[in-house]
């Protein structure tokens, strides 16, 4: 999973709700659960997602990889702890 360093002058294109739902439909249940949690509580770190979802860390990592591959999630370094990444939806 690659981490992008964001250019402060760039604008990340947002997905329409229809496109978001279309891409999400093809993903496994764990990815859908992680996306739903990010929708309501995001942005969150991987550990926080594991706590909220009650899924194992490996399953959360897999879900995040799938979501990122589909362009539904973006990762950024945490402002609180630069060792961690926080994830948010691209919607």
Mean pLDDT across the stretch 19-23? 89
- Beta strand segments in the chain, E: 44-45, 73-77, 85-89
**More confident call, 20 vs 5:** 20
Q: What is the pLDDT of residue 1?
A: 43
Please give the model's pTM, rounded to 2 decimal places.
0.80
Q: Where are the domains of the chain?
A: 17-89
- Please tell me whether residue 45 adopts helix, strand or coil conformation: strand
- Helices 57-69, 46-53: axis angle to 10 degrees equals 110
Fold held by 17-89: Arc Repressor Mutant, subunit A (1.10.10)
Q: Is 89 in a helix, a strand, or coil?
A: strand
Length, in residues, of the chain: 91
Give residue-wise pLDDT tens across range 35-64. Answer: 999 999 989 999 999 999 999 999 999 999
DSSP SS3 for 85: strand
Is the pLDDT at 10 greater than 50? The verdict is no
pLDDT at position 16 is: 84
Look at residues 88, 22, 39, 27 and name the one whose alpha carbon lies nearest to residue 63.
27
Looking at residue 8, its pLDDT comes to: 43
């Amino acid at each position: 999973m690659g981490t992008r360093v964001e250019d402060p002058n760039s604008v990340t294109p947002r997905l329409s709700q229809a496109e978001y739902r279309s891409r999400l439909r093809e993903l496994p249940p764990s990815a859908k659960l992680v996306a739903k949690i990010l929708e309501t509580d995001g942005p969150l770190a991987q550990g926080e997602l594991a706590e909220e979802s009650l899924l194992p860390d490996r399953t959360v990592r897999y879900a995040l990889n799938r979501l990122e591959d589909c362009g539904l999630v973006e990762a950024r370094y945490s402002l609180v702890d630069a060792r961690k990444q926080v994830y948010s939806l691209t919607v």
